[in-house]
Amino acid sequence: MGEETRKYLCPYCSNTLDTFEALKAHVVKEHKTEPLPPPEGFIRLTVNGQTYELKVEAEWTLYHLIHEKLGLTGVKMFCDRGACGSCTVIMDCRPILSCMTLAIECDGKTIETAEGIAKAKHPLIESYIKHHTMQCGYCTPGFITTAKALLDRNPDPTEEEIREALGGNLCRCGTYPQHPKAVLEAAKKLKKE
Amino acid sequence: MTGNQFGEYQKLKAEGTYKIGADIPTITFKEIGRRGVRRYDGYEKASGKAIYTRDIQLPGMLYGRVLHSPYAHARIKKLDTSRAEALPGVRAILRYDDPEFKGMKLTGSIAAPTKMAPEVAGWALKPVKDILGDLATFEGQMVGVAVCAETEQIAVEALKLVEIEWEELPFILDAEEALKPDAYVLAPGAQSNKLEETRELIEQGDVEKGFEEADEIIEFTARRHAHLWAGAEMPCVVARWNGDRLEMWVHEQQPYLGKLILSEQLDIPMNKIHTHSPYQGCSFGERCNPPNWHQNGINTIAVLLAKNAGRPVKLLLNRAESFYGESGDMMVSHFKVGAKKEGTITAVEIKSTFAQYMCTPGIEHFIDNTRIPNLKCVGITADVSKAPAWWCRCEQLPNTFCFTLVFDHVATALGLDPTEVALKNDGCEGHDISYLTEYKGEHGFPDRDSLRECIEAGKKAIGWDGKWHPPGTLKLPNGRMHGMAFTWSHDWDDVRGTGSAAVLIQNDGTVSVIAQHSDVGVNPWTAYLQIVADELGVRYEDVEINPFDLNQGFSLMSPDGSCNLCSNGFVVKKAAQKARKRLLDLATTKFEGLTANELDIKDGIIFEKSNPKNSMPIKDVVMFAAPMLNAVEIWTEPPVLAWAWHTHGLWGQALETGRPRMCRQANFTEVEVDTDTGEIRVTKVVNVNDVGKAISPETIEGQMYGGTYMGLGRAVTEEMAWDPNTGVLLNRNLLDYKYATMLDYPPAESIIIETGLGHGPYGATGIGEDTATMIPALIGPAMYNALGIWIDEFPITPARVLKALGKA
């Protein structure tokens, strides 16, 4: 699923424009006035490098938006309420729980999911595969995003720092011992790159 | 298993047509047993691309939710759904009194749908049998109403608008309370709360005689409180009707069985049900056995909602609602054991009371695993106001619980090293180890002493000989008490499944394995592809499987009872061998003057054995072997496709005297106990498993260290807690139901032993359930070794430690 296809109607001349940004530019240029505030519930965010402009319902969580509306299945609903880390995404460089974040509060945010990390060929993906750092795999993307956020801010973590960073992620299959190995190996590869 | 069917097995055995022996490899291993084989599912799972049932979205899909009882025991007296029906966005509502549901019971049993096993239908389900009735027998039961709506939010809102008048009824939470003569009888029409159970008495030899022969009699009582699966992906199902054809996406270990039962229940021809089994976010038995209320129930409700609404429906349970069961080892057991001074056990008597379901009686590992001649096991099961109990990685929990506690109580009572007591009693069905030695010789197995090998490796790894100390005697510099423990048992030799698969050589020489299979995380497909690659003589990376579609006709044994590889390894091996034969037969038409016996295949190249330079890639041999082509201008040949089926039938003694369990495992641990706070720190775990043959070593280790975390959670923190005043389960979430995180325990050490003594392919045996099942009881003797006090109540929480120390 790509960006929502919708047209933006100019309130002054009824021209339609493709994006909200284009509408704003049009209003400033053609009608010499300040653009109107965005409609209620309207947000704009960047996910895995792609820009999305959409209207969200007040009760939508960021998980709901990413999983159900953007079709990115890497965010997973596991514990159902902020206890497991499986829905973790990276928002403005920090790992956050998308199930505990309201979508409407994410206007202007930059978000990264496991899909984006894989598309960028981050070495975490291959080191996770190599070390069998998944069993049923349901919690794995949440570990990937948490680990990526750690490496972004600390490219040379100790094993203890890795365990601390991933300590909030639950894995019922018990893949825990493999994560520090996989993250350390990815850190080593990143240093070489 | 009915009497008749058992007779059939006996007949096969008598005719000598069914013989079990060692599976000696006929090939040179290249991929099998190799470390570093790329995980088949790795990229999809790491990148978030793996699709689970919860991820499925269909055009026009609605969301279904079901009402869950707020009371531990109550009946719906009046139900008004009019306000819910009026809520915009609600598309269908089902009520317990609708014709679709009225009187609809769960069908089938553990074995099969009702039509195949009428004698045991409903066996797995007591006491809950209604799919959506008016009676709630525990808090959290699906009851009364189901709804589907445009969004999940609207469906939840609609349920809140349903007005219900409840009649609250008395409830009982404790099994021993429930069995008192004057107890309130919970099930309508029942005479008492005692549930019917065919395994109430298991007896072998004469325990009274055994007690007389003993130098010491050891008696104790132990309790195990409720815990459950709590798998990652919460239960869900998607159903879509297309005319009279039904399409399903299921979070289910046994999709074929589920389809059979759904077909029987709703009278839908089986060929009109198209089932997809996407990736499965855990199961551990939770998503197995479709006759269970939480599977048969949600599947049926989703199908009927989709029919009524005329649109696809995804039915979802939330985390709180997913606490709908317990492991079948809620038990209190009284033990009486007789032993000689030097450690030989002469008799074991176990008397247990189970709540809800006795998943195993507790005595079976003594039968399968020891020379102890006199055994008696009495088990009574009580109906209580809790969710139905079921297998929970795995049904052997009562067996390993009793086995560990008996052996460690005996060793400590006699002042002996538990590893010595184990070796003294190792055997099989009352016979000593020489019986197994003889069997191994007769059936082509190597003569190796599995238990001794496991114990030696484990003792060395944990430093047993230097560290083992008398109970309660080692206070560490940090002020904590140090404890060590050991337990052992046999392997999980569950080569008992039935499965089928096909192997197709594609026109370009690549290979497809064709079969549905539900993966619960045990990396099965990699192992199947390793086997097919080696048996065919092709490269691992040239073999593929698409296991997500039941409609392709072949279905591999579900991951039950550690059956995955042991059963399915045989299936894919046979199919690959057949396909290889077809391929070589076809090759003889391209290699002039040569017979199939004179040809061999390696790395995808077919060649003449005596002159390897005379060779041809598989793709050239199958150039014209294609199932569908314009055959007017091009010569075609039949596709190289072969399928196979395999069953081993029952495990244990059903087919011949002998399929004894020959592989052993040994588990060691070290703990530190804070006597002021009761805190238990597990500092080391060493698991040694004789897996017979390691096909994918990293996968085996994954089950060993992974199972340790689940086992330790069950030992120390995992407990379901009910409010005694209301019968309401208090910790329906993953903050208050505590299982292990990465920070709680150090990584376990995994030691793989390969004796070739398994009954599975190439001598392999099961590993998926062993460790998680062995570890919980092991913490009991470790605590005894630390404190000199037995705390035979599990989980061993800090509160129970302090109570045992007289500090609380």
Quick one: B579 and B711 in the same domain?
no
The type of residue at B225 is H
As a whole number, mean pLDDT of residues B505-515 equals 97
The domain made up of A42-192 has a fold known as: Ubiquitin-like (UB roll) (3.10.20)
Q: What proportion of chain B, given as a percentage, has pLDDT over 70?
A: 95
Cα(B759)–Cα(B738) distance, integer angstroms: 37
At B646, is the pLDDT very low, low, confident or very high (cuts 50, 70, 90)?
confident
Domain that holds residue B69: 53-169+242-316
CB nearest A177 (choices: B44, B232, B747): B747
Best residue of B742, B744, B773 to probe chain A, by most A CBs closer than 10 Å: B742
Element (H, E) at B178: helix B175-178
C-alpha–C-alpha distance, residues A150 and B52, integer Å: 27
Closest partner residue to A135 (CB to CB) among B702, B735, B742 is B702
Length of chain A: 193
Sign of CA dihedral B434, B438, B440, B441: positive
* Res. A173: pLDDT tops 70: yes
> What mean pLDDT is predicted for residues B732-741?
96
Q: Per-residue pLDDT tens for A142-171?
A: 999 999 999 999 999 999 999 999 999 999
> Searching chain B, which residue's CA lies closest to the CA of residue A144?
B46
Long-range contacts of A26-31 (CB under 8 A, 24+ apart): none
Segment B220-231 shows an average pLDDT of 97
- Is there a cis peptide before residue A106, judged by omega within 30 degrees of 0? no
Q: CB–CB of B49 and A115 under 8 A?
A: yes
In this predicted structure, what is the pLDDT of residue A39? 78
Angle, helix A140-153 to helix A159-166, in steps of 10 degrees: 130
B38 assigned to some structural domain? no
- Please check whether residue B14 lies inside any domain of the structure: yes
Asked if B458 and B390 sit in the same domain, the reply is no
Q: How many CB atoms lie within 10 A of CB B735?
A: 11
Whole-number pLDDT of residue B653 = 43
Tens digits of per-residue pLDDT, B413-468? 999 999 999 999 999 989 999 999 998 998 899 999 999 999 999 999 999 999 99
Residue B358: inside a domain: yes
Looking at the fold, whether B710 and B784 belong to one and the same domain comes out as: yes
Q: Which of B616, B647, B678 is the last residue of a domain?
A: B647
pLDDT tier at B124, thresholds 50, 70, 90: low
Cβ within 8 Å, pair A138-B281: yes
Within this chain, do residues B300 and B191 fall inside the same structural domain, yes or no?
no
Boundary residue ending a domain (B614, B647, B680): B647
The whole-number pLDDT of residue B3 equals 43
Residue B652 reports pLDDT greater than 60: no
- Domain ends where: B425, B458, B479? B425
- CB count, 10 Å around CB of B392? 26
**Exposed, middle or buried: residue A49 (CB in 10 Å: 0-12, 13-18, 19+)?**
exposed
Are residues B345 and B302 located together in one domain of the fold?
no
Alpha-carbon gap, residue B660 to B429, rounded angstroms: 9
Separation between Cα atoms, residue B731 and residue B720, nearest integer Å: 6
> Is B333 inside any structural domain?
yes
User: Is the confidence at residue B104, as pLDDT, over 90?
Assistant: no
What is the DSSP-derived secondary structure letter of residue B295?
H
Residues B359 and B479 grouped into a single domain? no
B162 in Cβ contact with B80 (< 8 Å)? yes
B123 shares its domain with B270: yes
Write the CATH number for B386: 3.30.365.10
In angstroms, the separation between the Cα of residue B283 and the nearest Cα of chain A is 9
Q: Once rounded to an integer, what is the mean pLDDT over residues B600-609?
A: 98
Q: B136-162: per-residue pLDDT in tens? A: 999 999 999 999 999 999 999 999 999
Cross-chain residue pair B45–A134, CB shorter than 8 Å: yes
- Return the pLDDT at B87: 98
Domain shared by B664 and B800, yes or no:
yes
Question: Are B519 and A141 an interchain contact pair (Cβ–Cβ within 8 Å)?
Answer: no
B5 and B84 housed in the same domain: no
Here the CATH number for the domain that contains residue B267 is 3.90.1170.50
Tokens representing B278 are: 């996407």
In this structure, the dihedral spanned by the alpha carbons of residues B262, B264, B267 and B269, taken in order and rounded to 10 degrees, is 80
pLDDT of amino acid A2:
46
Q: Are B365 and B407 contained in the same domain?
A: yes
**In this predicted structure, what is the pLDDT of residue A11?**
83
Residues B504 and B627 occupy one common structural domain: yes
At B738-794, the pLDDT tens digits run 999 999 999 999 999 999 999 899 999 999 999 999 999 999 999 999 999 999 999
Fill in the DSSP letter of residue A38: P
Residue B518 CA neighbour count, 13 Å, CB half: 30
* Residues B543-575: b if buried by 16+ CB within 10 A, e if exposed: bbbebbbbeeebbbbbbbbbbbbbbbbbbbbbb
Backbone dihedral angles phi then psi of residue B256, each to the nearest 5 degrees? -70, -45
Whether pTM > 0.90 for this model: the answer is: yes
Size of interface A-B (CB pairs under 8 A): 175
Domain ranges of chain A: 1-37, 42-192
Any domain includes B34: no
CB contact under 8 A, B521 and A135: yes
B387 and B453 housed in the same domain? no
List the beta bridge partners of residue B202.
Answer: B377
Share the mean pLDDT of chain B: 93
For residue B563, give the nearest of B759, B360, B766 by alpha carbon: B766
Q: How many folded domains does chain B comprise?
A: 4
Q: Give the closest of A73, A164, A173 to B48, CB-based.
A: A73
CB contact under 8 A, A134 and B41: yes
pLDDT higher than 50, residue A82: yes
Residue from A73, A100, A150 to probe the interface with B (highest B Cβ count within 10 Å): A73
Nearest CA-CA partner of B483 in B681, B667, B676:
B681
Closest residue to B710, CB basis, from A144, A174, A179: A174
